[in-house]
Amino acid sequence: MAECDQIALTHESWFAQAFPKNTITRLHERLLAAIASEQFDEARRLVCTGLDLNLRCAEGASALYPAILSGDVTLIRLMLEHGADPNFVADEPAASIYTQKPLELAKQARFLINRNKFDPVVKLLEEFGATD
């Protein structure tokens, strides 16, 4: 969490906390967009605002799923340190598109995409208590 100590939090931190749980906000949408467009500095900044990282997107997954597919270990670690659930269970259609759980997704990416890139992701998830 030391990375967040270096980031000056703005009114967005209050904004993230002001919305009720289970509500996707513009900040959540910006986080998903930043991950998708590989703007990892922006994604890390948004994680540090205190967003609930376990909200389901419209597809039924959390923001951790696209972060895992990005392979950015720094971002994934930061998300886990800020409360992203390593054992989150995705709803449909994400459970069929990706997998039900983050560790399964990382293992599939390691096998199908790039062993060297995704092996550290698997190990990180296991370090944070992820199970199949």
Rounded average pLDDT over 10-22: 42
Q: Do you find a cis peptide bond into 102, omega within 30 degrees of 0? A: no
pLDDT digits (tens, 9 = 90+) for 45-87: 999 988 899 998 888 899 999 999 999 999 999 999 999 999 9
pLDDT at 25: 80
pLDDT band at residue 24 under the 50/70/90 scheme: low
Give the CATH fold of the 2-127 domain. 1.25.40
Task: Evaluate if residue 2 carries a pLDDT over 80.
Answer: no
Question: Between 26 and 10, where is the model more confident?
Answer: 26
* pTM metric for this prediction: 0.81
Least confident segment among 16-30, 37-51, 68-82, 87-101 = 16-30
Give the whole-angstrom CA distance, residue 26 versus residue 60.
17
